Structure 1
Amino acid sequence: MFNDAYRNKTVFLTGHTGFKGSWLAYWLRQLGATVVGYSLPAPTVPSHHGLLGPGFPETLANLNDLSILTRAMQAAQPDIVFHMAAQPLVRESYRTPLETLETNILGTARLLEAVRQTPSVRGVVIVTSDKCYENPEDGRPLRETDPMGGFDPYSVSKGAAELITASYRNSFFNLAQYGKTHNVLIASVRAGNVIGGGDWATDRLIPDLIRSTQQDEVGIGTPGNGQSVEIRNPLAVRPWQHVLEPLSGYLLVGQHLMSGEPAAAEGWNFGPDVADVLPVRDVIREAKAAWGAIQCHEHASDANPHEAHLLSLDCTKAHEKLGWKPVWNTQTAIQHTVTWYWHYYELGKIRTAHDLRAYIAQAQAASLPWAV
């Protein structure tokens, strides 16, 4: 897979204890990479990272400590850096706006400063969000050429992280000077609402629904409250996708960077097909079909902080230039996600390896370029 680009390569991965980061770390290790992690401790108990067991070197420290970050990166001497460490929640950004801005904006700048001090690095993939765009909510899917922006502190922090990434690419890792004054290619990647097993964050739809199936101190793992989940924006439309979908895109971009292709050093959207951009209400229906114990009720309120009602991505660029396409539709993604949790709580089993094998097998059957 990925032209064997990651075998025997060292990957410096920030945010490896988080939901997406733990899945990426697992996949990278299956590809033969040496992973070195840098992150705060896992944000929840249990966590996907903790359940898998790290099994690789990690530094548990704050992204905003430049000296520790630089020392850790220089000690690792990585070939490529994946930057996923962030404050990832919109509603949390309303509660802690300064911390969100500090981590997501200046944390990205500090990461790129550490790259400047580490000559071994050949590629950098900065992970932001589909919320980095100035979203007019006019029904048009957002393209990589659309302006950065954001309404809430989280969204604007991701837009600013994109601007900082572009600034460092222009100022210190200019493509016209690639192979002359430097050997680093930097890309940014943007994805929508990601679901999958092993996410226990608060204020996320699927984890909240899963918590409704569990009573206090009952079952294997984190206790739930066994109470019906309040659905605050049932008609909000989002590009739902399984976590493995954007990760395949990130890994594909990283492959092109390490192959020395300046054309890959840009921004990239990774999202589902148009038919899989669905309202929250439809996602809930599919989740309840997969696990009947899920409980929820709708309660829209003006007291809730603002969140975009409509958001979708145009992924034509990734389709045409990288040959990337989604593997699972939203229904399949929800089934795999809910089944992952059912196996965890009811059987005490972790289905991460199973889901990755199933995903790869379907990608190979579809002859996607990264999988064959």
Structure 2
Amino acid sequence: MSRPDPAFWAGKRVLLTGHTGFKGSWAGLWLARMGAEVTGLALAPDQTPALADLLGYEHLTASHTVDLRDRRAVTDAVGARPFDLVLHMAAQPIVRAAIEDPVGSLATNIMGTAHLLEALRDEDALKAVLVITSDKVYANNDAGRAFQEGDALGGKDPYSASKACAEIVTASYAKSYFDRAGVPVATARGGNVIGGGDFSRDRLVADIVRAARAGEAVVLRHPEATRPWQHVLDCVAGYLVYAQALATRKDTPRALNFGPRPGAAEITVGELATQATQALSAKPWRHEPDLASIEAKMLAVDAGLARRTLGFESRLDGPAAVAWTMEWYRRQGEGEAARDLCLAQIDAYESL
């Protein structure tokens, strides 16, 4: 199966937005390890601890603190040097935060994407641009069918709507500007990602770890809900393989799902939480229903197109992804350095 190729990435000038976030932190470290020259563009971390701060920024060529909603700041940062490839991961990624601040989330996820693509129109060296959206871009009626790339986009909450709109904005920029310049621009729709170093609010694993370290029981709103869980290394590997293909193959699709292997067993929120709390020797979770919630209860994506066109599929099934994740947190809680743990797991993943 395809995997990130150090020979491809060595020496590549990569613009990585969202490098201070959870997935962006892993991506920046992995890219730099393969020899890429990584320039980060993002807001400062909004939680303590933050994986980006734990890793440090020495592996990056440059790190710019920029709000994507500020068009001038984005233009100035992007214009500072040429880039070969762009991975746009920066976003407001939390569903409940978007419900609390819909306008701010819409501005970041929609106009932030437009500001970045507008600034990239003058980049002569570009070989490909990959915009990361979400598995929640689809119009979800809770029917339980795994969504495919050609399904209708939609969103009944502000976060989902913002990501579906980012898809439309990206496609419009591709067709209006980048296609004629010969620069492939595509979107990647990742599943629900877990892994060591996620300390964000309102994230299942992060909430479990915080509760365990405080000696409390984590509270679940929807233990019966299903999600396309995947380990952060599977997700980031998919993005990197996709970017490689965009830069080297003209027949690469312009939108792909990344999630569990086709046919993998669904795992509910409650099942994941049970495995995670047991791994941490934590108190069992408890259920407090949120009757006002409009989050989808069932969500699955079909990652078959990525397997057929890229030769890529996830290597860690649900139980293995949880085990790798909890091992990271357990060892980090015992004092091991986050950077060493991430590099060790990257090594282990590459050897699978």
**TM-score (structure 1 length as normaliser):** 0.90
Question: Once the 2 structures are TM-superposed, how far is the Cα of residue 69 of structure 1 from its aligned partner?
Answer: 1.2
The residue aligned with 1:302 is 291
In structure 2, C-alpha distance between the alignment counterparts of 1:238 and 1:105, rounded to whole Å: 24
SS of 2:309's partner is: helix
Question: Once the 2 structures are TM-superposed, how far is the Cα of residue 265 of structure 1 from its aligned partner?
Answer: 4.9
SS of 1:125's partner is: strand
In structure 1, C-alpha distance between the alignment counterparts of 2:81 and 2:8, rounded to whole Å: 18
| Amino acid paired to 1:256 | A
Structure 1 residues not aligned, in runs of 5+:
216-225, 363-372
Please state if 1:325 is matched with 2:313. yes
Deviations 1:285-305 (A, max 9, x none): 2112311124421111313x2
Q: Please tell me the root mean square deviation across aligned C-alpha atoms, in Å.
A: 1.3
The residue aligned with 1:313 is 301
Please state if 1:337 is matched with 2:314. no
The residue aligned with 2:251 is 263
| 8 Å CA contact 2:226, 2:267 repeated in 1 | yes
| 8 Å CA contact 1:137, 1:309 repeated in 2 | yes
In structure 2, C-alpha distance between the alignment counterparts of 1:316 and 1:291, rounded to whole Å: 33
| 8 Å CA contact 1:210, 1:294 repeated in 2 | no
Flag the 1:294–1:334 CA change in 2: closer, same or farther, 3 A.
farther
In structure 2, C-alpha distance between the alignment counterparts of 1:321 and 1:110, rounded to whole Å: 30
In structure 1, C-alpha distance between the alignment counterparts of 2:344 and 2:318, rounded to whole Å: 18
In structure 1, C-alpha distance between the alignment counterparts of 2:265 and 2:203, rounded to whole Å: 18
Runs of 4+ with deviation above 3 angstroms = none
In structure 1, C-alpha distance between the alignment counterparts of 2:320 and 2:35, rounded to whole Å: 28
Flag the 1:294–1:61 CA change in 2: closer, same or farther, 3 A.
farther
Question: Once the 2 structures are TM-superposed, how far is the Cα of residue 94 of structure 1 from its aligned partner?
Answer: 0.6
In structure 2, C-alpha distance between the alignment counterparts of 1:270 and 1:168, rounded to whole Å: 23
* Stretch deviating more after TM superposition (327-336 or 282-291): 282-291
Please state if 1:227 is matched with 2:219. no
In structure 2, C-alpha distance between the alignment counterparts of 1:310 and 1:150, rounded to whole Å: 14
Question: Once the 2 structures are TM-superposed, how far is the Cα of residue 276 of structure 1 from its aligned partner?
Answer: 4.0
The residue aligned with 2:237 is 248
| 8 Å CA contact 1:100, 1:153 repeated in 2 | yes
**TM-score (structure 2 length as normaliser):** 0.95
In structure 2, C-alpha distance between the alignment counterparts of 1:186 and 1:3, rounded to whole Å: 22
Please state if 1:92 is matched with 2:97. yes
| 8 Å CA contact 2:217, 2:282 repeated in 1 | no
The residue aligned with 2:48 is 45
| Amino acid paired to 2:351 | A
Deviations 1:322-359 (A, max 9, x none): 00011111111101111111111123332111111111
The residue aligned with 1:78 is 83
| Amino acid paired to 1:13 | L
